[in-house]
Structure 1
Amino acid sequence: MSTLLSSKNENLLNYINRFLEETRGLSLFEAFEWIFKAFENPIIISSNNYFLAPHSVLENPNTHILRGNNLYQLTELKFNKVNNHFMEHEMISLFKMDDIPEKGSNQIENIPLTKNDFALFIRTWIALECLAYDKKLLSNRYSGKLPIIQYQMVKGQFSEAIIKIYSIINNYINGNSTLENKSFNVFIHNEIDDCMNTLINLTGGHGVLTETVSRKIYLSFVIKNLFVESE
């Protein structure tokens, strides 16, 4: 099995930059597809008994599911869809697995893309997409004679969100040797939470709370609850 993320020490920055660049402006399910299809065969990253996936990936007979260091073929597993209308709008579904075999058809010693990697990539992508959407939306809204985006408070919030996002990426890359340390991982995702709260203030706080942004932010917190272990 090969993956674009073959060496974290050398390729992590290139990988995350490529992911963020090539998925810019795409839909959320296309961002999911990009990550899963980075492997020779599509691999869905799961956590405990749950996984998130776009329908297109599940339709591929070569798709596998990674749970811990066990790699399962779809045909080896039983899973049921958890209905959630927020995710349906994004063409992403949540599934719960039942009666999971103790071992999959393959076992992986060195997991090339952990659930922590997956959660960080998707949550950072969501933050950047919401930021771009908010900027465009607020630039077209006026208060008095000025676009809302021109006001100093709004500029400050945008700067805070941008600095936070790139600080998250920098901390992740420089601290990748301790990524699986629970405390470090919780810290990184708390930073993303702060960024999400800023985005909520930019939208709801200025009367522009939209379904597009709220759905993505909701899904970001779902991903955190599923994939990130609390202290």
Structure 2
Amino acid sequence: MNWQDEAMRYEPLKAQDLYDFATAEQKQEAVEAYNRAVNKLRSGNGDVAGIALRQLAAQYPDFAEAGLLSVCCQMLWGDRRGALQILQRFSQAGYLTEDESFKTERYLAAVSSEPARETEDPGAVVVMDGENLRRDTVKPPRLLRRASADSGVEVASASEQEAFLREHNLNLKKHHYVASRSSNLLIKWLVTLLIILLLIALLLVVFLLLPQGGKTGAAATASPGLLNWSGLRLWRPVNLFQA
């Protein structure tokens, strides 16, 4: 599959045309970030757009269009493992549209047919050199920084990465992560199963104690000094000198 051509087929979206994968405010923000990334791709700045898309797909796992476009970028970088993780999650999701399901099947077949690389070390495509930025050819991208000309590169701090994405107008305003619907469904099933097990355990305890309670009641009734009548237990005097 020509992943470059496939990525160029994606177009800007409108929030009202998508299902609710987050709150209204988060959804609008995510769509705006996605549209900026699409425009960056079309202007030839695909590496920076890919970083933003990967972040977007991680924050909103149910935002299928962002995840699928991120797959295209990751395959262009050679990140087959990252692309498979997204596609395998989508293949088990029940909320995708018909078009999204079709793309997922196509992409999954194409990615699975490609041989795995010997190493998938996430290199850097953008290196931050002090206040200047320089481009590198190693892919897939990470945001790295170079402290000096003699030192090697290291992963940029969170604030440096945010500043870089902000400079390119691709960052999200808030770093919130929305749980996937699949994860929420699994949690609900686990909670339901736990409640059922607790009820079963409670019933077993009750049934195990019932025979002991019955024996205790029988023994009390047979006691010479205790009279049990209509649920009331009354003491009666006993003549100890009676033969």
TM-score by length of structure 1 reads 0.25
When Rg is computed on C-alpha atoms for both structures, the one with the higher figure is: 2
Q: Which has the higher contact order (CA 8 A, sep 6+)?
A: 1
